[in-house]
Structure 1
Amino acid sequence: MTKTINLSDRFHLQGEYPCPVCRHGKITRMSLMEAFACDFCQHIFTGNFDKQLLKMADSQLPLTWYWSGKNWKGIQREGTDIGWGYIIIGLAFVALPTGIISLGTYLVPPLPDSPLSWLPLFWAILTFIAHLSCLILLVIEYYQLPIMLYMRALRRRLFQ
């Protein structure tokens, strides 16, 4: 038994599709080109119509999606799995500096009546926040998560 394919469900050059990156804009064909652009996030894409694939052309990472007929499905890239080694290194990057500062504060506590007795605790919390922020920013940069685009879309939606 063969499955009939509805041509309106296929990915083709003249269609308009939801953007797989920002999920708010529409991607359409760029004039005089065989490329697509999103009207919201301004990303540029190239299409493989035989395989029903869309690839982001303006990214260092090979982000690719498959058109299912209704929406885009992400294709897992090789080398993007976060293994236990990366998780342990990330946790150590956050925990070790914070632990060293906290241990120093515990072993050599400030005098309770001194005007800067709050500084060691503040410094330990600041160390934790700074290292965790670095780790989160690295993950966002690696996976190309459009956080600012989500915020802009949310602001547009709330104030319209």
Structure 2
Amino acid sequence: MPKSKILSTSFNYQGMYPCPVCHVGKISHMPLMEAMSCDFCHQIFTVNVEQQQLVMPSRQPPLVWRWNGFNWTEAHLEGVEFGWGYVFAAFVFILLPTSIIGIVAYLFPPHPEAPLSWLPYIWTGLTFFSHLSIIIWLFVEIYQVPIRIYLRAIKQRLTGR
């Protein structure tokens, strides 16, 4: 029998597991309920022991994690498949407007002694960062990344509490 199989644990109600949302707290069984909760971020999860899954029903569509014996696999939205088309569309959304503005600024540069001759270059950078921030915001909203909880955990670790 491989050594990795000996160390792996199956997912059940009695154990304590790392929280897949905040990665700081531990999730454990809630008394008198068929649910588990995190002691740090206070998220409540429903459990499917047969499929070794943890579901966060507080959002729609719910996020689902699968236990692989050691840790939670990456989250996916229940019933939603993100393919390479979405990744390609995100890159196009970021790079196409930035490229158009950058090419125009390169082909038709302002006169160097004009008072706002720097504006096209700044505008190109702002276009890139604004479109990138939109994609990052969408990622955070879809996967419900708990930024405040991460910052609170970092603060607690730095202060030593």
**TM bucket by the smaller chain?**
0.7 to 0.9
Q: Deviations over 1:18-40 (max 9, x none)?
A: 21221110112334432221121
Query: CA shift at 1:131, angstroms?
Result: 0.6
2:151 is equivalent to residue 151 of structure 1: yes
Which ranges of 4 or more aligned residues in structure 1 deviate by more than 6 Å? none
TM-score (norm 1): 0.77
Q: Deviations over 1:87-118 (max 9, x none)?
A: 33222211221122222222332221122111
Partner of 2:61: 61
Partner of 1:28: 28
Q: Percent identity?
A: 49
Give the direction of change, closer, same or farther, for the CA distance of 1:97–1:150 in structure 2 (3 Å limit): same
Could you say what the CA RMSD is over the residues aligned between the two structures, in angstroms?
2.6
Partner of 1:109: 109
Question: Residue type of the partner of 1:111?
Answer: H
- Distance in structure 1 (CA, Å) of the matches to 2:117 and 2:74: 51
Consecutive unaligned residues of structure 2, counting only runs of 5 or more, are 1-5
Partner of 1:92: 92
Q: Is the contact between residue 63 and residue 143 of structure 2 (CA under 8 Å) also seen in structure 1?
A: no
Consecutive unaligned residues of structure 1, counting only runs of 5 or more, are 1-5
TM-score (norm 2): 0.77
- Distance in structure 2 (CA, Å) of the matches to 1:53 and 1:86: 25
Q: Deviations over 1:54-80 (max 9, x none)?
A: 211212233223344543344765543
